[in-house]
Amino acid sequence: MSAPRVYLHALGMINALGHDAHSIVASLAAGVAPGMQPVQSQLGDAFVGRVHTPLDLAPPDALAAYDCRNNRLLLSALAQIRPAIDAASARFGAHRIGVVLGTSTSGVGAAEAALAHRARTGELAGEFDYRQMEIGTAAPFAAAALGVKGPAYTISTACTSSAKAMISARRLLTLGFCDAVVAGGVDSLCELTLQGFSALDSTSPVRMNPMSRTRSGINIGEGAAVFLMSRDEAPVALVGAGESSDAHHISSPDPEGAGGEIALRNALRDAGLDSRTIGYVNLHATATVKNDQMEARLMSRVFPGGVPTSGTKPLTGHTLGAAGATELGLCWLALARDDVALPRHLWDGDADPELPVLDLVSEERYLSRGTDTQYVMSNSFAFGGSNASLILGR
């Protein structure tokens, strides 16, 4: 007997494109990203994806110790789907609603500010609490803020964190442990990631340029993306998922993308699909020399006939632990709404002759509505050879 299918009912999202689905769709249509901008970091010039919307939502009084930018980003995304969460809780019971979130920074930015305060004054900032930066607190914090009582845990596998959270949430539903799950990811800008990726020579001081001959690295971003998932039918389903862990190197991908290819093929097998049925692929596309090389090679093998693709990190920045859910959210919008075009691939058009040619979406293009079902794929690759591939169906 096949496992029951799970569906994505509601999406809350905030990033450099906008503060909710409506503003993000408008930015996508215009091909602009208001929050992508140059900044000055402690190591010099950088280019980042920043959320500029005021984050006015604070945790409830009982959770005040957890108040930090990362958790306010999370609360902003959760508020957008709170009615759907409350309805599910009322229907199934709070103990049947789970929360699985991915993050890689948690509230490290709050710790940086507290330590800077101590360097100036000799004492940590009074509002700082260690729990703000504890990597595992995102999901339990969200569960407490929402008043749900089901399983709540955080996944941190670098840039696949929130993609893995989606897969884990799906398992909770198919195994019957939950009737609905809040799943996604959140990360916020901080010097730790800016300096860390800079130390790896992986950041670009200008807007990132994926798949280009002149690509020079990533732009770090921040944001949150959360879904409400359940077994109740909805227009968009999570039909397939694939994972692998090739452990090729602590920070460099396998040059040929063998582990990534396993994840993509596992997702197709899980969905019962041939690669020719996929209508669009959201690339990981970090604009680093090695990642884009690896990804272009594996894409040419899995999709030998070609498929429309784009890398959306020039629009959001690389939101790290939130990237998988953020990019899945852009896929969800293209499936759920007929008026949303496929995300464009923003780059200089100077193709790298060393890479296989990909069908990069550079103009307004929509999913074909000529068939009953459309499928899209979103891929994430991370340090340590952690790979994840997700397939949505409409």
List the catalytic residues.
159, 284, 318
Partnered with residue 7 across adjacent β-strands are 230, 237
At 228 the pLDDT is 98
Domains and CATH numbers, the chain: 7-230 (3.40.47.10), 237-393 (3.40.47.10)
Is the CB of residue 184 less than 8 Å from the CB of residue 227? yes
At 1 the pLDDT is 44
At 252 the pLDDT is 79
Q: How far apart are CA 73 and CA 70, in angstroms?
A: 5
- Report the candidate in 134, 213, 231, 115 with the shortest Cα–Cα distance to residue 175: 231
- Residue 11: CA count within 13 A, CB half-sphere: 29
Partnered with residue 187 across adjacent β-strands are 223
Q: How far apart are CA 31 and CA 12, in angstroms?
A: 21
Q: Which two tokens stand for residue 153?
A: 């845990």
- Report the candidate in 139, 301, 316 with the shortest Cα–Cα distance to residue 210: 316
**What's the distance, CA 90 to chain centroid?**
28
At 250 the pLDDT is 79
Is the CB of residue 201 less than 8 Å from the CB of residue 273? no
**pLDDT for 215-265, tens place per residue?**
999 999 999 999 999 999 999 999 999 999 988 777 778 888 899 999 999
**What's the distance, CA 283 to chain centroid?**
12
- Return the SS3 of 276: helix
**Rg, the chain, Cα only:** 20
At 2 the pLDDT is 60
Largest interatomic CA distance in the chain:
66
Buried b vs exposed e over 9-48: b needs ≥16 C-beta within 10 Å?
bbbbbbbbbbbbbeebbebbeeeebbbbbeeebeeeebbb
| Ranges of residues in the chain whose predicted pLDDT is under 50 | 1
- Report the candidate in 201, 157, 180, 209 with the shortest Cα–Cα distance to residue 322: 157
Please give the model's pTM, rounded to 2 decimal places. 0.96
